Amino acid sequence: MLNSLRNAAGTWVAKLLLVILVLSFAVWGISGSMLGVIGGNAVVTAGGTTVPAVEYRLAYDRQINVLSQQFGQRLTREQATALGIDNQVLGQLVAGAVLDEQARTLGLGLSKDRLASLTAEDPAFRGPDGKFSRQQFDYVLREIGMRPEDYFNNRAQVAVRQQIVEAVSDGLEAPDTFLRAVALYRGEDRTAEYIVLPKALVEPVEPPSDQVLSAWFEENKADYAAPEYRKISYVKLEPEDIADESAISDDQVAADYEQNKARYTTPETRTIEQLVFKTPEAAQAALDSLKGGATFEKIVAAEGKTQADTLLGTLSKDKVADKAVAEAAFKLAENEVSPVVQGAFGPVLLRVTEIKPEVVRPLAEVAPEIRKDLALSEANRVLLDVHDSYEDSRAAGESLREAAAKLKLDVVTVEAIDRAARLPDGSVHADLPQSRELLQAAFETEANVENPPVNIGANGFVFHEVEGITAARDRTLDEVREKAATDWIAEETTKRLAAKAAEFDKRLKDGTELDALAAELSLEKQTKRGLKREADDADFGREGVAAVFAVTESGSGVIQAPTGDAQILFKVTEVFEPAGASPESVPEDAQASFSSGLADDLLDQLVARLQTQYEVEVNRAAIDQALAF
Per-residue pLDDT reduced to its tens digit, 22-39: 333 333 334 333 444 444
Confidence at residue 433, expressed as pLDDT on a 0 to 100 scale: 94
- pLDDT winner (highest mean) among 6-15, 107-116, 544-553: 544-553
Give the confidence band of 17 by pLDDT, cuts at 50, 70, 90.
very low
Q: How far apart are the first and last CA of the chain?
A: 27
**CA distance linking residue 114 with residue 518, whole number of Å:** 76
- CA-based nearest residue to 442, from 150, 133, 232: 232
The SS3 call for residue 52 is: strand
Mean per-residue pLDDT, 456-485 = 95
Residue 7 scores a pLDDT above 90: no
Predicted TM-score of the model (pTM): 0.55
Quote the pLDDT of residue 597. 84
- Rg of the chain taking only CA atoms, in angstroms: 40
Average pLDDT, the chain: 87
Please answer whether residues 22 and 145 qualify as being in contact, where contact means their C-beta atoms are separated by less than 8 angstroms.
no
Alpha helices in 190-339 (DSSP H): 210-219, 239-242, 250-259, 280-291, 296-302, 307-310, 323-329
| More reliable by pLDDT, 299 or 62 | 299
* 250, β-bridge pairs: none
Is the pLDDT reported for residue 481 higher than 80? yes
Q: Please determine, for residue 363, whether its predicted confidence score (pLDDT) is greater than 70.
A: yes
Lowest mean pLDDT among 123-127, 419-423, 562-566, 617-621: 123-127
Taking 50 as the threshold, does the pLDDT of residue 575 lie above it? Answer: yes
Q: Could you tell me what percent of the chain has a pLDDT over 70?
A: 93
Q: Cα(95)–Cα(618) distance, rounded to whole angstroms?
A: 12
pLDDT in tens, 302-342: 999 999 999 999 999 999 999 999 999 999 999 999 999 99
CATH number among 3.40.190.10, 3.10.180.10, 3.40.109.10, 3.10.50.40, domain 268-357: 3.10.50.40
- Distance CA(235)–CA(461), nearest Å, equals 8
Q: Is the pLDDT of residue 629 over 70?
A: no
Banded pLDDT at 173 (limits 50, 70, 90): confident
Question: 587-624 pLDDT, tens per residue?
Answer: 888 888 888 888 888 888 888 888 888 888 989 888 88
**pLDDT for residue 124 is more than 60:** yes
pLDDT grade for 460, boundaries at 50, 70 and 90: very high
**What span, in angstroms and rounded, lies between the C-alpha atoms of 537 and 544?**
8
Across 157-180, average pLDDT = 81
For residue 482, what are the contacts with CB-CB under 8 A and spacing of at least 6?
A: none
> How far is residue 207's CA from residue 213's CA, in Å, rounded to a whole number?
9
Give me the phi and psi of 357, to 5 degrees please: -70, 160
Lowest-confidence region among 168-182, 185-199, 386-400: 168-182
pLDDT value for 245: 94
The 10 Å Cβ neighbour count of residue 181 is: 14
Query: Model confidence over 53-95: pLDDT tens digits?
Result: 888 887 888 888 888 888 877 888 888 888 888 889 888 888 8
CATH of domain 2-171+607-627: 1.10.4030
The residue ranking higher by pLDDT, 508 or 137, is 508
Asked, colleague to colleague, whether 2-171+607-627 and 268-357 share their fold, the answer is no
Say whether pLDDT at 166 is over 80: no
Please write the tens of the pLDDT for every residue from 194-240.
999 999 999 999 999 999 999 999 999 999 999 999 999 999 999 99
The structural domains of the chain, with segments of one domain joined by +, span 2-171+607-627, 189-218+480-576, 229-245+366-470, 268-357
Residue 517 backbone zone (phi > 0: left; psi -120 to 50: alpha; other: beta): alpha
By 3-state DSSP, what share of the chain in percent is helix, strand and coil, each rounded to 5? Answer: 55, 20, 30
Non-local CB neighbours of 109 within 8 Å, separated by 6+ positions = 156, 160
The whole-number pLDDT of residue 592 equals 85
Average pLDDT over residues 236-252: 95
Length of the chain, please? 629
pLDDT higher than threshold 60 for residue 21: no
Higher pLDDT, 361 or 51: 361
**Residue 71 is which amino acid?**
F
